[in-house]
Amino acid sequence: QKELPYSIYQLVKHMSYWQDFLLALAKGENPERPKSVSESWPEHPAPVDEEEWKKTIQHFCDGIDEACHLADTLAIEEPLDAWPSETPGGLLRNIASHNSYHLGEIVIMRRLNGAWPPPTGGFPA
């Protein structure tokens, strides 16, 4: 088996980076754009401890909650001042598609490591 290019931790951090960036744009902010996409990938393949991992997951989930809130409260098809060719709705769709792509990778990585399906069978508890 070939070595994977990144870890699940790195994927979650990468998803959070772009989710945060796109949420800021959707809210009308103008965050600093990265000089390179490489800035969105953490160097370290693992968190320093369990606490950092839990905070990383919570931050990602909080961003999903924020995206859902914005979808319900923003004029999602109005062009953005900071990016007139885009709308909040378009950015929220981008978040959904980007996260879906990488979450699919996480499932494959877990399957390769014998950690899928989860113990609950994949159904909500």
Please check whether residue 17 lies inside any domain of the structure: yes
Angle at 100 between CA 99 and CA 103, to 5 degrees: 80
36 inside domain: no
- pTM of the prediction? 0.92
Cα 12 from Cα 106, distance rounded (Å) = 9
The reply to whether 21 falls in a domain is yes
Is residue 99 one of the residues assigned to a domain?
yes
What does the pLDDT look like over 23-56, one tens digit per residue? 999 999 999 999 999 999 999 999 999 999 999 9
Quote the domain boundaries for residue 62.
Answer: 8-31+41-112
Residue 91 near residue 76, CB atoms below 8 Å: no
* Cα–Cα distance, 70 to 59 (Å, whole number): 16
Distances (CA, A) of 81 to 14, 25, 72, 123: 26, 9, 20, 41
Number of domains the chain is built from: 1
Rg over CA atoms, the chain = 16
